[in-house]
Each structure stands twice: as C-alpha cells, then as structure tokens.
Structure 1
Amino acid sequence: QRYRQRRDGTISFGAHNVFGFDQQNSLVTMHQFDSMGFLPASPATGAWNGNELMLERSSPRGAARVAYGFDGTDTYRMKLQFKPAGSDAWQDMVNGLYRRVSPSSINGF
C-alpha cells in the first residue's frame, strides 16, 4: 500500500506499507516505512473481524492502531490513531474514505 499526503500541492508525508501473515501466531502483519524515518522494531499486528482489519503496534514513543473497513470492492475506510507514551487517550491522526481509480487518472504517481 502506498500513501502520499499533499498540502498546498506539495507532498508533506509519504508511507509504504507491506502486509503479510504470521502463520505461527495467526496474525496479519504490517511493516510501515515512512518519510519521517522512524523504523519500528516490530510490525503492527492484528486480525480480521468481519470486514474490518485492526492492527496495533507499540514503541517507546507510544502506541498506534489502524483500522481498515471494506464495504465494497472499490472502496475502503481507514482510521489511524496514536496514543503517546504515558497517555491513556487515543488521538485521531488520519481518517478517510479511499476509492480505487484508474491508473491513468492519477496525476503525478
């Protein structure tokens, strides 16, 4: 999965997510590489619950969780939350509805 955030026509954040499956523990895994440069010591892990995939990971900086909800073949919802170390409160970071488009209609990728 490739993600780019644009602000005022400039890419301000980018990420590349690689999904896998840990057969031994029956967990979905996600390794994320982003433009901020923080390399997690371990991947996010999680499981499917119906049509929603929930993944979580922790680091010394805090905990992150992401939920992907699939309602159809060409759309999905994504919500990313972060909880700083020492906090009990989750903060919304990204929340969106994503739609598949033809590669020819994507400008600049």
Structure 2
Amino acid sequence: MNVLDANVLASLAGEWVGEEAIATTRWGQGGSAVGRVHARFDLGGKVLLLDYREERDGKASLQAHAVFAMGQEPGEYAMYWFDSYGFTPSQPATGHWDGTRLVFLRTSVRGQTRHIYEWVADGLYRLVLESSFDGGVNWERVMEGEYRRVGDAA
C-alpha cells in the first residue's frame, strides 16, 4: 500500500480483526490470540483514538487504549498507550513514518517497546511489538499480528 504521509493515521482508522502470535514474556504465557481494533478520529480530526482487545480462547486477555497525534514536523507522530497491564505513560512515545512503516518507541521504567505498523496491502496491516530491557541494544519480539479491515470508523 502506498500510504502518503498525510494519510498515515487515516489509514489506521476503522474496524480491524487479526490473528496474533504472542511470545512468552515476563508479563505472561505465549500463544495465539485474536486482536480486535477500533480506531476513529476525534477532536476535530486532530487525534486518532484506538481501542484494542486481545482475546484468547474467546476471553479478553489484554485491553489497550492509544491516542495518536501528528507531530509538528511532517512524518513525526506521538502515541500515548494505556493498557490493562497497568502501563500509564509519563510521556508520549515518539514516532516516525519512514515511507513504508509507522514506528513508535515507548520508554518507561519497564524498558522500551517498539511498535512497528507496516501496510501489507490495501485493507491489511502488520503490527510487530518488540521489547528491550538494555536500552535498545537487544530486542525481543513480543507480538506479531496481521489485521484485516472489517469496517470503516464510525
């Protein structure tokens, strides 16, 4: 998909469902899951609100709420991530569009997490989450999912 810089966040808006592969980490057991995403614009189109629900065996196992905003410079973005594991951001994750991927880096006392959104085809994107506990020297894959659009944002 040829996502133009101005439309990067707009291309995430909508209803999405995806199959996920979760790695065993210090936060829980690995396995497969289904991810459901609802993303819509708010505040006059200034921010994208994303609600995420991970389901394992038909039951909610992780929920998250994210707020995405365009930065001051073209290709720069910010993300605030809140989840049911108790993560509360003290600062936004910085992000950038590199022409094919939207990449965010979250930093907290728990380490760093990299969110990589990559468009595979029209109506299909891949999300990879990687964590580092040594300042970004080594990265561990936490989750990979591929999401297909099942509806437009309401």
Gaps of 5+ in 2: 1-49
CA distance in 2, matches of 1:86, 1:30: 19
1:41 aligns with 2:94: no
Q: 1:29 corresponds to which residue?
A: 78
Q: Can you give the 5+ residue segments of structure 1 that lack an aligned partner in the other structure?
A: 104-109
What is the RMSD computed on CA atoms of the aligned residues?
2.1
Aligned counterparts of 1:26 and 1:4: Cα–Cα separation in 2: 27
1:1-109 map, 5 Å: 1-23=50-72, 27-85=76-134, 88-102=137-151
- Per the normalisation by structure 1, the TM-score is 0.82
Aligned partner of 2:120: which letter? Answer: D
| Local SS of the residue matching 1:41 | coil
Q: What is the identity percentage for the equivalent residue pairs of Structure 1 and Structure 2?
A: 40
Equivalent residue pairs, number? 103
Q: Which has the higher contact order (CA 8 A, sep 6+)?
A: 2
Misfit runs of 4+, over 6 Å: none
